[in-house]
Amino acid sequence: MAIQESKVKTAVDGRKGERADHIYRVAAEIMCQKGYEATSMKDIADAVGLTKAGIYHYIVGKEDLLFQIMSFAMDMVDENVVTPARKIADPEQRLRVIIEGHARRILEVGGAVTVILEEMAALTPAHRKAIRARKRRYFDLVRETIGELQTQGKLRDVDPTVAAFNLFGMINWISRWYRPDGKLTPDQIMRDFLQIALNAVLRNA
């Protein structure tokens, strides 16, 4: 009996998690269009088909929602980019996996969640510190990877910190111009983007 109850609870928690992820994505899209301050909880509730009271079953408030969206974004980065990359010993292949993994998530999931990461000022000090620490760990991974490439003589004559910041700028800017209904497919974009990004920092990409 206990095992069956556990399976039911896991299924319910899974559905709640999927619904929460959907709320984060939709809320991020609205905040991108209207801005954080102009977005109301009613706007988000209407967009996801919940009452204003119902949405509080998933989130505490608007600032908490913003923090959850950012945490959701960093969770995706950790799962799809950081974890696979840390398993790769060769720094050139690791950098390739990082660039492709991050860029592809933006192309597949949508850029709104990435754009919302710029709303750091709206967070409480504690939430801001938590998100900043996660972003810093990711940045350090990329900079250290580029530093290894410099040691191997594969890096162009550039500073690893400058190179890391510029790679992040290139990747995050995809969210500003990519349109799912545009002429270019994600695979076409990834082919060219990866070539441009790697050639920007490597001597012989």
Q: What pLDDT is stored for residue 13 in this prediction?
A: 45
Beta bridge partners, 155, equal 202
Q: How far apart are CA 91 and CA 143, in angstroms?
A: 11
Residue 181 is part of a domain; what is its CATH number?
1.10.357.10
**Residue 202: is its pLDDT beyond 60?**
yes
**Domain presence at residue 187:** yes
Q: Is residue 67 assigned to a domain?
A: yes
CB 99 within 8 A of CB 194: yes
pLDDT at 12 over 60: no
Instruction: Read off the pLDDT of residues 35-55 as tens digits, 9 standing for 90 and up.
Output: 888 999 999 999 999 988 888
The per-residue pLDDT for 16 is 58
Q: Is residue 16 part of a domain?
A: no
Under the phi-then-psi rule, with left for phi > 0, alpha for psi from -120 to 50, and beta for the rest, what region is 191? alpha
Per the structure, the count of domains in the chain is 1
Binned at pLDDT 50, 70 and 90, residue 7 comes out as: very low
pLDDT for position 205 = 66
pLDDT tens per residue across span 160-196: 999 999 999 999 999 889 988 889 999 999 999 999 9
pTM metric for this prediction = 0.83
Round the average pLDDT of the chain to a whole number and report it.
88
- C-beta separation of 107 from 182 below 8 A: no
Residue 4 has pLDDT above 60, yes or no: no
Domain housing 101: 62-201
Is residue 195, in this structure, part of any structural domain at all?
yes
